[in-house]
């Protein structure tokens, strides 16, 4: 017996059901993607227009983790431009949620591997994110190469040549 015969002829065949679901959900998905794209563009424009003239081009987030706090505070933070926006995740209760830095962090960070991370804002280009979590995990296990490369790429992207301290 076919599927429709088993249920008294009322069942819709699966390919037809999938098509109906796709036709109904596709416009919603396109709307969500369009809104996301518009918000991303507006955030980038706001960052270019407000941070650009102030010379701000870096957002850096880290925490008081025993794995990276000392390293970050001794080797990365001193190399950042004086205009960099630096957030300590361990002190997030004190952050103002109505700042452009906070909005940029929430947008670029996502929900995984965002600490430590850096976001480099480039005029008229997409921002570039550098997620340091995995390189620090590798360093913890005796493999410093990934952190060296990430740090080198990050500072090269900032236009600063610097040798990693590891």
Q: Three-state SS string across the chain, please?
A: CCHHHHCCCCCCCHHHHHHHHHHHHHHHHHHHHHHHHHHHHHHHHHHHHHHHHHCCCEEEEECCCCCCHHHHHHHHHHHCCCCCEEEEHHHHHHCCCCCHHHHHHHHHHCCCCCCCEEEECCCCCCCEEEECHHHHHHHHCCCCHHHHHHHHHHHHHCCCCCCCCC
pTM > 0.85: yes or no: no
pLDDT range class, residue 14, cuts 50, 70, 90: confident
φ/ψ bin of 55: left (φ > 0), alpha (ψ from -120 to 50), beta (otherwise): left
Separation CA 61–CA 113 (nearest Å): 11
Sequence-distant (6+) residues with CB within 8 A of 133 are 113, 114, 115, 116, 117
* CA distances in angstroms from 64 to 71, 101, 116, listed in the order given: 11, 19, 10
- pLDDT average, residue stretch 34-42: 93
Specify the pLDDT at position 9: 54
Residue 163 has pLDDT above 50, yes or no: no
Specify the pLDDT at position 162: 44
Specify the pLDDT at position 4: 47
Specify the pLDDT at position 22: 82
Specify the pLDDT at position 25: 86
Separation CA 44–CA 97 (nearest Å): 18
Percent of the chain with pLDDT over 70: 89
Specify the pLDDT at position 76: 96
């Amino acid at each position: 017996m076919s599927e429709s015969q088993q249920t008294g002829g009322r069942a819709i065949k699966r390919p037809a059901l999938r098509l109906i679901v796709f036709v109904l959900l596709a416009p919603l998905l396109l709307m969500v993607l369009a809104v996301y794209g518009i918000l991303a563009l507006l955030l980038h424009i706001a960052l270019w227009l407000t941070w650009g003239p102030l010379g701000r081009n870096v957002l850096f987030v880290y925490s008081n983790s025993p794995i990276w706090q000392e390293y970050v505070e001794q080797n990365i933070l001193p190399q950042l431009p004086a205009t960099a926006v630096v957030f300590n995740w361990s002190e997030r209760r004190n952050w103002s949620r109505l700042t452009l830095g906070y909005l940029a962090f929430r947008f670029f960070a996502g929900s995984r591997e965002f600490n430590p991370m850096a976001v480099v804002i480039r005029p008229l280009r997409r921002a570039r994110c550098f997620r340091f979590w995995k390189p620090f995990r590798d360093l913890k296990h005796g493999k410093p190469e990934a952190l060296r490369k990430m740090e080198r790429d990050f500072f090269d992207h900032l236009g600063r040549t610097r040798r990693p301290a590891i």
